[in-house]
Chains A and B, each alone.
Chain A
Amino acid sequence: MRLSAFSSLQPGALTAQYYDLDEHDHPEGASTLFGFWLYLMSDCLIFAMLFAAYGVLGGNYAAGPGPKDLFELPLVALNTAMLLFSSITYGFAMIAMQRGRTAGVQGWLVVTALFGAAFLAIELHEFSNLIADGATPQRSAFLSAFFTLVGTHGLHVTFGLIWLGTLLVQLAKHGLTDAMRRRLFCLSMFWHFLDVVWVGVFTFVYLMGTLR
């Protein structure tokens, strides 16, 4: 008898245990958005570390040029506008998706991509100007930290654009299926997240750098 093994135990110590060996019903993609949110939060920590590095090293010019000599605020304002416009146009794409209009989604995504590309073009123009003036990442700790922080953000935008292009191809192929809706929503979170990070960049790097 199996129970005899427990005969030395107190009666109250016998508790029933259940092991659920069967798979639960997990609807497809039910955890995608939460998983992607966790990715964004970890990405947030990458930027936190880069901001911390910039905060620590941002004043070490090594007798080289400082923020006041280098930053052109009108250009940064234009860049900020591009990213903000791309945020609202992606919002319009999400509205079109909710209404089930594939062509509307595609149109707004293309507009978003154009604004994103304009942002990148302006940023690359700024970087090439800096490097032409001798303000390279090797010049000082301030410039190393600056190029790492702003460059990492720019790389994120670049990959966002590649992702956007991929989704446009998939959208033409599959239409607005549930899987496509999830993918488009994930990219929308990624895109808006980049705008949130940019708020930190233009405030703490450009505006406060100019004030310093």
Chain B
Amino acid sequence: MSALHSDTHGHDAVPHVALKDYATGFVLSVVLTAIPFWLVMSGVLGDKALTAMIVATFAVVQVVVQMIFFLHMNTRSEGGWNFLALIFTVILVGIVLSGSLWVMAHLNQNMMPMPHAMNELP
């Protein structure tokens, strides 16, 4: 394989990229960014919890979009090891985030009320 391609411009050095991918990723990202900003800045939905949930969903979708179209993520690159490392990282990020929030929320609940918090008690 390398004998076939080494005399061309060394395209083996990096993965192949396509203009279509970048354009698709860019358009999707613009849409997925504009909608959350519009939702929050105009407050059209009225319900804050619902807005927050929708905004978070858009963020997750945009992260996936950028991973695929900008970072050229797929399950085959580097024989699947890239994807495996990503899965491992996603699991660790999930543990770190959910663990921290969960533990600290309970810590807050079980703390003695501090003087400034006592003022807020009935």
Contact = CB atoms under 8 A, between A and B. Distances in A.
Contact of A56 (B11, B29, B100): B100
Given A45-B89, A45-B92, A176 B37 contact: no
Interface in A36-67: 37-38, 41, 44-45, 48-49, 51-53, 55-56, 63
B2 A73 contact: no
A49 B19 CA distance: 35
A140 interface: no
B14 A33 contact: yes
Nearest to B101: A55
Given A51-B97, A80-B33, A193-B71, A178 B19 contact: no
Contact count band on A:
35 or more
Given A55-B101, A80-B33, A192-B71, A203 B55 contact: yes
A135 interface: no
A49 B101 contact: no
A153 to B, nearest CB: 15
Interface string B12-55: 11111101001101100110010011001100000010011001
Contacts, number: 134
Contacts of A202: 33
A199 interface: yes
Interface in A78-93: 80-81, 84, 87-88, 91-92
A38 B85 contact: yes
B40 A37 contact: no
Interface of B: 2, 9-17, 19, 22-23, 25-26, 29-30, 33, 36-37, 40-41, 48, 51-52, 55-56, 58-59, 62-63, 66-67, 70-71, 78, 81-82, 85-86, 88-89, 92-93, 96-97, 99-101, 104, 116
Interface of A: 27, 29, 33-34, 37-38, 41, 44-45, 48-49, 51-53, 55-56, 63, 73-74, 77, 80-81, 84, 87-88, 91-92, 94-95, 97-98, 100, 176-179, 181-182, 184-185, 189, 192-193, 195-196, 199-200, 202-204, 207-208, 210-211
28 contacts: A41-B86, A44-B93, A45-B89, A45-B93, A48-B97, A56-B104, A63-B116, A73-B40, A84-B33, A87-B66, A87-B70, A92-B22, A94-B17, A95-B17, A97-B14, A100-B9, A178-B13, A179-B13, A185-B14, A185-B15, A192-B70, A193-B71, A196-B63, A204-B59, A207-B37, A208-B52, A208-B56, A210-B40
